[in-house]
Amino acid sequence: MDTKTLTEISIQGPVGAPEETLKRNALKRLEYVLKKKGLI
């Protein structure tokens, strides 16, 4: 969640995926959504 823009995303991943991988994917998705909205 980006608290500055109040933009929230969600991701899905395998149960066995490392937490770092899920965090990285979440950040990439948030970046994508913010760019799509023209906020960054």
pLDDT tens digits for range 3-30: 999 999 999 999 999 999 999 999 999 9
| 33 vs 40, more confident | 33
pLDDT score recorded for residue 26: 97
pLDDT score recorded for residue 1: 93
User: Distance between CA 2 and CA 13 in Å, rounded?
Assistant: 20
pLDDT score recorded for residue 32: 97
Identity of the residue numbered 28: K
pLDDT score recorded for residue 39: 93
Say if CB 13 and CB 25 are below 8 A apart. Answer: yes
Record the pTM: 0.86
pLDDT score recorded for residue 5: 95
Say if CB 37 and CB 2 are below 8 A apart. Answer: no
